[in-house]
């Protein structure tokens, strides 16, 4: 069984307020996406990396691959209009067996730890999938103009990535979604629509997605340490 890491990197990063997508911003002279890719390059459980990106950034990604010796990058494919399209393009480009694992991870989550990744892969190997999540710590409310109700935080989780599925299940989930003209916010939503149980793996507060300028400032402080 092989394990493929799919990195959708087609986002424009408009919320970060920078002229280039956030995944290509440099920190300590190194692009943000490099921090993410190195997590998978160094992990012995990952066999191949596939990146889905906008075509204008293909030359940069190829330079990054050579400069940082990211030998596990096997393909760089065209990203689609939405995340779902990018991940599907990557799935369609790989030669995977039905029970191979597909690990989908955001390009802008650079602080994924080996322990979180390894644990998620272990759960997916045993149960067929794994969704990395962080249990809610704060009081959770539902708002409709004003506070409508209070949610039981014991049942609330923040969804992160990676999200890991067997190739056959993920491919089937995408095909069903396109047939029904449905776009989900992430892969787990599509697999859930197949009637599959989704299993949770423990996430980390460090595994946050860099989206805003505040996130960028936090990341800068963390990598200084």
pLDDT digits (tens, 9 = 90+) for 146-160: 999 999 999 999 999
Q: Label the pairing between strands 129-135 and 200-202.
A: parallel
DSSP type of residue 39: H
**3: number of Cβ within 10 Å:** 19
Q: Is the backbone peptide bond immediately before 162 cis, with ω within 30 degrees of 0?
A: yes
Phi, psi of 52 (to 5 degrees): -110, 120
CB–CB of 121/104 below 8 Å? no
For the chain, the domain total comes to: 1
What is the residue whose two structure tokens read 């330079």? 63
Domain that holds residue 214: 3-224
Dihedral sign from CA coordinates of 168, 100, 92, 187: positive
Question: How many CA within 13 A on the CB side of residue 31?
Answer: 20
Q: Tens digit of pLDDT per residue, the chain (225 long)?
A: 999 999 999 866 555 556 788 999 999 999 999 999 999 999 999 999 999 999 999 999 999 999 999 999 999 999 989 999 999 999 999 999 999 999 999 999 999 999 999 999 999 999 999 999 999 999 999 999 999 999 999 999 999 999 999 999 999 999 999 999 999 999 999 999 999 999 999 999 999 999 999 999 999 999 987
Residue 134: give its domain's CATH number. Answer: 3.90.550.10
> Token digits for 216?
């960028």
For 59, the token pair is 């030359």
Q: What is the pTM of this model?
A: 0.94
Half-sphere exposure (Cβ direction) of 24: Cα atoms closer than 13 Å: 21
C-alpha separations of 59 from 77, 167, 204 in Å: 12, 28, 33
Q: How far apart are CA 35 and CA 111, in angstroms?
A: 7
5: exposed, middle or buried (C-beta count within 10 Å: 0-12, 13-18, 19+)? buried
User: In angstroms, what CA-CA distances link 188 with 16, 68, 69, 145?
Assistant: 25, 31, 31, 30
């Amino acid at each position: 069984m092989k394990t493929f890491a799919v990195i959708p990197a087609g986002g424009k990063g408009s919320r970060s307020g920078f002229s280039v997508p956030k995944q290509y911003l440099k920190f300590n002279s190194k692009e943000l996406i490099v921090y993410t890719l190195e997590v998978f390059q160094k992990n012995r459980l990952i066999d191949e990396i596939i990146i889905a990106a906008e075509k204008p950034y293909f030359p940069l990604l190829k330079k990054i691959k050579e400069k940082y010796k990211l030998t596990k990058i096997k393909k760089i494919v065209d990203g689609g209009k939405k995340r779902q399209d990018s991940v599907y393009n990557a799935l369609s480009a790989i030669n995977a067996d039905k029970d191979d694992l597909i690990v989908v991870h955001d390009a802008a989550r650079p602080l994924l730890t080996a322990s979180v990744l390894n644990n998620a892969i272990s759960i997916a190997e045993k149960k067929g999938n794994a969704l990395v999540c962080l249990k809610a710590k704060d009081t959770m409310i539902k708002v409709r103009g004003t506070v409508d109700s209070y949610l039981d935080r014991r049942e609330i989780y923040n969804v992160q990535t990676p999200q890991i599925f067997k190739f056959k299940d993920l491919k089937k989930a995408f095909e069903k979604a396109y047939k029904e003209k449905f776009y989900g916010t992430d892969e787990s939503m599509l697999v859930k629509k197949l009637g599959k149980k989704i299993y949770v793996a423990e996430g980390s507060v460090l595994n946050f997605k860099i989206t805003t300028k505040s996130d960028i400032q936090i990341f800068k402080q963390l990598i200084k340490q």
